[in-house]
Amino acid sequence: MKVADEETPLVKGKNPSIDNDDDASHDSRDFEPLMDRVKDVIKVYWSLGFIAFGGPTAHIGIFQDHLVRFHHWLKEDLFLELFALGQGLPGPTSTQLLISTAATHGGVLGGSIAFLMWSLPGFIVLTTASLFLYGIIDPSNPPIWLLGVPPAAVALIFKAFYGFAQKLDTLGVALAMLACAVSVLINHDENIPSNSSQIVYPVLLFGGGLLTYLDAHRSKPIGTYSK
């Protein structure tokens, strides 16, 4: 996996290291300078802070639609690789994925600008809400429409999961279902502390990686692996 920097230009708005394995076939005169690539990042990412509803899981699906399927800036495999890397690191995966995908096009500057545009709308809205919301809405009697917003966001989360599930092989589906079952269990079993997710989720990530590694080295693996 290669992240573009100031010395890795785009060819006609696309990263040659992503779209074509043979970089030598491109004329260097077609390469776009850094500031042009940063402008491309602004054009593509400015709206994401306004349309990415539903929380981090739903954001992943929106990024996939926006960057992979509509703009064709990333191949599916690279997007999933960046997503897996973000899942294995502390912090919000959706924000990490946003920065890393922007950095593949605009370098560090492009990734930083994308992060600012991503965070600023939510910062403004939530800061304003924290200052004035309780003066407008009674927290003990919230309006009916406000109660319907969180359930509606479930549809965005399901869409994101469905998009990823289509790319999973047999082992991937089995690991996903196991992780879902564990997540439901630790959140709805009164005998399991709710804060156990702080330990359980990293263990699931490590266990999934270990099982995949062991399966890949079997003579007849369950999963599908490219050599």
**pLDDT tens-digit series, residues 169-186:** 787 888 888 887 887 777
For 29, residues 6+ apart whose C-beta sits below 8 A from its C-beta are none
Q: Please give the torsion angle defined by the CA atoms of residues 41, 97, 2 and 78, in that order, rounded to the nearest 10 degrees.
A: -100
Tell me the pLDDT band of 150, cut-offs 50, 70 and 90.
confident
For 31, residues 6+ apart whose C-beta sits below 8 A from its C-beta are 9, 10, 11
Indicate whether 160 pLDDT > 60: yes
What tokens were used for 137?
């809405």
Q: What is the mean pLDDT of the chain?
A: 75
Indicate whether 199 pLDDT > 60: yes
CA–CA gap between residue 69 and residue 64 (Å, rounded): 7
Q: How would you class 45 by CB atoms within 10 Å of its CB: exposed for 0-12, middle for 13-18, buried for 19 or more?
A: buried
Please tell me the pTM assigned to this model. 0.60
